[in-house]
A = this chain, B = another copy of it.
Amino acid sequence: MNANVTVPQNGKPHLLTARRLGIQTIQEAQIFMRKDCHVCKSEGFATHARVLVAHEDRTIVANLYQVTSELVGIDEVGFSESAWQKLGLKDLDKVTISHPPPLESLSAVRGKVYGRNLDFESLSQIVSDIAAGRYSNIQLSAFITACAAKPLDHDEICALTRAMVETGDRIDWNRKPIVDKHCVGGLPGNRTTPIVVAIVAACGLTIPKTSSRAITSPAGTADTMETMAPIDLDIPNMRRVVEQEGGCIVWGGAARLSPTDDMLIQVEHVLDLDGEGQLVASILSKKIAAGATHLLLDLPVGATAKVRSKQAADTLSRSLIAVGEAFGLTVRTVMTDGMQPVGRGIGPALEAMNVLDVLQTKPAAPQDLRERSLLLAGQILELGGAASEGHGLSLAIETLDSGRAWRKFQRICEAQGGMRTPRVAAHHRSVTASGAGLVAHLDNRRLAKVAKLAGAPEDKAAGLELHVSLGERVAARQPLYTIHADSPGELSYALAYARANADIIGLVEP
């Protein structure tokens, strides 16, 4: 008798009818059953029990919530959206609910809490259990916290990286080098990627860039890029674009590269906590799975950026290079200024407009975005062998200023499905300086919050446009930034927050 299948005395499993409740849970699968239903009673299930849900040949592990109302019928099981989709259900499908096998890998997590190192076998089991949805959010939180409290050593980071790579798909490009870039989070508006990819691909290197959508920020590179071209390309289409143009800028979520990474990030964001080892494994596993051979990492350093000191950047940098080496991936890191946003726009369309201005070499283009893109592109050109050491930057400048990068960008957009023009929001309002002064600091995190309250990234045109930068002298009532929103309500809410947080842009006596 199989202890994992509900078998009552007559020997047939209890079948219950699936009902779609349309509840969004991001990733955690949830089901809803009547407290007085015969399965809850006979299986001894209580609220928060982890249960195995089976439909035909698919199974998932879900969190059970008991219901004491008519929300679901006595012979029904209500499903959250993620649970419904993972099981591939249709209305009136029949499912069985039973006890899941014990989550053995949790004992390795407990071991880590008490100071035992994790070996590849344990990490592999933890990661595949996470990928299969067998960890609840409470358990994911314990894993993340344990790895931050008892930092992963080099061997553990390599093992975690390998486990994360092996859980998902991998892309083989059948050529070398494959260059790639990544920016270690936290800086609003730092949208160098489309510019860098255009320059690098125009110089003949292969740069198949996958980017993410925003999780807690007002725009991810994928959100920004989507205002200029389609980004939901599957791997065959991505391959077609890259073979044709040498580069692409697509959303990584369509490919299944290191799928556990996103699941961990969701919980890390709630805690505002990510251990260095997990950060390294997170970054490198995606790049290794995407087939990169040479990777440039942009590490913005600043008080309100993700990496807060040069010392933290050095330690992180050493770990990234050493772990990359273990996988045959050449990693180079560049520390950049993380004291203030890059460019003027914060929000998908507003950032895209800055990108287009730089690519089109308009005089009004934000110089900081131009310079940082050129710096990064120059480094990649050297790393990938398109320029000798010390000559990358001049090649990058030449490629941008000659219009070759802009033409390459347009061709990439066309290959991805057609170029688009970023939209301008319907409502704008400026936030002004209360008095005269010098701009002494900008709070990246709270600026991001204003942009999000205005509707970014869901409303592509929403966000804010900065008018000042560090060290600039401003007069009283001079506009500091302008909020863009698609509805008066969002504009009003962002404005209320901005006014209640007048020190987001800090002014001092000149």
Residues of A within 8 A of B (CB): 1, 3, 7-9, 20-26, 32, 35, 38, 41-44, 47-48, 65-71, 80-81, 106, 110, 112-115, 136-142, 144-146, 148-150, 266-267, 270-273, 452-453, 455, 458, 487-490, 492-493, 496-497, 499-500
Contacts and interface: CB of A to CB of B under 8 A. Distances in A.
Given A9-B488, A24-B35, A145-B113, A139 B271 contact: yes
A488 B69 CA distance: 26
Question: Quick one: copies of this chain in the complex?
Answer: 2
A489 to B, nearest CB: 4
Contacts of A38: 489
Contacts of A48: 25-26, 266, 270
Contact of A139 (B23, B270, B455): B270
17 contacts: A3-B496, A7-B493, A22-B68, A22-B70, A23-B71, A24-B35, A24-B65, A38-B489, A41-B487, A42-B487, A44-B455, A44-B458, A68-B81, A113-B273, A142-B271, A142-B273, A149-B149
A466 to B, nearest CB: 20
A259 to B, nearest CB: 19
Contacts of A106: 271-272
A270 B496 contact: no
A497 B4 CA distance: 10
B7 A496 contact: yes
A493 to B, nearest CB: 6
A71 B21 contact: yes
Nearest to A9: B492
A69 B20 contact: yes
Contacts of A146: 145, 149
B148 A24 contact: no
Contact of A22 (B67, B138, B140, B266): B67
Contacts of A70: 22
A108 B23 CA distance: 33
A24 B66 contact: yes
A352 B37 CA distance: 29
Given A44-B455, A137-B137, 14 more contacts: A1-B500, A7-B492, A21-B71, A24-B67, A25-B48, A26-B47, A42-B487, A42-B489, A44-B452, A48-B270, A113-B148, A113-B149, A137-B138, A139-B141
A162 B211 CA distance: 49
A188 B493 CA distance: 56
A114 B141 CA distance: 15
Contacts of A114: 148-149
A48 B137 CA distance: 11
A260 B254 CA distance: 43
A490 B142 contact: no
Contacts of A81: 68
A496 B149 CA distance: 41
A110 to B, nearest CB: 6
Contacts of A144: 142
Contacts of A8: 489, 492-493
A142 B141 contact: yes
Nearest to A267: B138
A487 B36 CA distance: 14
Nearest to A4: B500
A490 B41 contact: yes
Contacts of A42: 487, 489-490, 492-493
A139 to B, nearest CB: 7
B497 A3 contact: yes
Nearest to A266: B48
A21 B114 CA distance: 41
A85 to B, nearest CB: 12
Contacts of A112: 149
A483 to B, nearest CB: 13
A49 B477 CA distance: 35
Contact of A23 (B32, B140, B148): B32
A9 B271 contact: no
A271 B489 CA distance: 43
